[in-house]
Amino acid sequence: MHFDRPRRNRKHPAIRSLVRETRLWKASLIQPLFVWEGGECLAVGSMPGIKKLSVKGLVQECGDLVQLGCLAVAIFPSVAWERKDARGSCSLDSDNILFTAVQAVKKSFPGLMVIADVALDPYTDHGHDGIVDSKGHVDNDASVEALCKLAVAEAGIGVDIVAPSDMMDGRVGAIRGALDNAGFQEVSILSYAVKYASAYYNPFRDAVGSGGNLSLLDKKSYQMDPANVREAIREALLDVQEGADMLMVKPAGPYLDIIRVVREQTLLPLAAYQTSGEYAQIHAAAQLGWLNYKQTRDEALLAIRRAGADLILTYFAREIAETSSS
Ligand code: PBG
């Protein structure tokens, strides 16, 4: 007579490693980076260790990441307030800081995959991802038109993967069409297919200055209701149909059930975005001495992989790459 002893598989670090089901590879981590027009690099208060980089600082940072074996970065612009307007027109200016930054990075590191958001929020004075009409509604179809132009402009300056993060209806198909018409058949689309109207984005909005009055910015008419699961499947399947190359769920940690269900219902590579708020939470608790920083960080990332994400956008990417050999 014996009873099951699952602990045998945990008795030694080597055995634990042999039977481990999920791993964090640096090849699956993507570092988000912020760039601005200034000549120096500025710390982002609510994101310890993260800076708004000058173009020179960004290129240096990308050099370090390449050395460390990172394969991709997502670059976000922090645009000077004076340039912004209600329509986000400066997104198409030839001196858009995002374009300058991407060109500089691709020139130095052509093999590093550069991802850029397609959304208007860094460029609009109200902070919405699209164009707001006279009644205060975010106008879906006018926004999609503007997003197509931005996607084509990004492709033109060398972005490898455009990432529509706006949650307008029909934008993935429209962007695919616009890219193909402009001769950018090889440019990929990573769709923020399932993006929730979440409270976890505030530190990011501090960093890019897209918050306006943060407490007033309400994206619930286009980003998803955190209460919904079936709707996530619907959004994901639509983006598959419309021609996305990869899907994303965002936020990640509080939405592991969503990552799992999208993984099970679709075939495309799946990314998850561990948001600025998730990053800030871990740092804040660690600073207070309430959580162990490294253990919590690694567990949070592993859980996102275990839920089914192939790729993770995470502000911890560089640190993990620094400490892991594969
Ligand atoms: C812009 C965008 C946001 C994030 C990524 N792209 C903010 C938002 O939708 O308001 C959030 C990233 C993060 O919190 O780390 N559309």
Q: Is the CB of 123 under 6 A from ligand 1?
A: no
Which is catalytic among the residues 51, 106, 195, 219?
A: 195
Q: Is the CB of 31 under 6 A from ligand 1?
A: no
In this prediction, residue 217 has a pLDDT band, given cuts at 50, 70 and 90, of confident
| Stretch 99-117: mean pLDDT | 98
pLDDT score for 265: 98
End-to-end CA distance of the chain: 43
From ligand 1's centre to the CA of 157, what distance in Å? 22
Those residues whose C-beta lies under 8 Å from the C-beta of residue 162, and which sit 6 or more positions away, are: 115, 116, 118, 151, 154, 155, 175, 179, 187, 188, 189, 190
In this prediction, residue 214 has a pLDDT band, given cuts at 50, 70 and 90, of low
**227-265 CB burial, b ≥16 within 10 A, e <16:** eeeeebbebbebbbebbbbbbbbbbbbbbbebbbbbbee
Q: Is the CB of 201 under 6 A from ligand 1?
A: yes
The enclosing H or E element of 263 equals helix 256-265
From ligand 1's centre to the CA of 201, what distance in Å? 6
Which atom of ligand 1 approaches the CA of 166 most closely? Answer: 16
Please say if the pLDDT value at position 215 is more than 70. no
CA–CA separation, 285 vs 28, rounded Å? 26
Q: Is the CB of 124 under 6 A from ligand 1?
A: no
Q: For ligand 1, pick from 44, 76, 201, 275 the residue to mutate: most ligand atoms within 8 Å of CB.
A: 201
CA–CA separation, 34 vs 19, rounded Å? 38
pLDDT score for 326: 82
Q: Is the CB of 204 under 6 A from ligand 1?
A: yes
195 is catalytic: yes
User: Whole-prediction pTM value?
Assistant: 0.96
Portion of the chain with pLDDT greater than 70, in percent: 98
From ligand 1's centre to the CA of 197, what distance in Å? 10
Mind spelling out the 3-state secondary structure of 113-164?
Answer: EEEEEECCCCCECCCCCCEECCCCCEEHHHHHHHHHHHHHHHHHCCCCEEEE
Which atom of ligand 1 approaches the CA of 122 most closely? Answer: 1
pLDDT score for 212: 61
From ligand 1's centre to the CA of 126, what distance in Å? 15
250 is catalytic: yes
Going by their DSSP bridges, the two strands 246-250 and 188-195 should be labelled as parallel
| Stretch 266-275: mean pLDDT | 98
CA–CA separation, 29 vs 252, rounded Å? 13
- In the chain, what are the domains? 24-323 (3.20.20.70)
φ, ψ of residue 312 to 5 degrees: the values are -130, 125
Query: Burial level of 208, CB count in 10 A (0-12/13-18/19+)?
Result: buried
**Read out DSSP for 166-225?**
S--TTHHHHHHHHHHHTT-TT-EEEEEEEEB--GGGHHHHHHHT--SSTTT---TTTSBP
Q: Look up tokens 């999920």; give the residue.
A: 22
| Stretch 310-326: mean pLDDT | 95
Which atom of ligand 1 approaches the CA of 201 most closely? Answer: 14
Q: Look up tokens 């994901």; give the residue.
A: 236
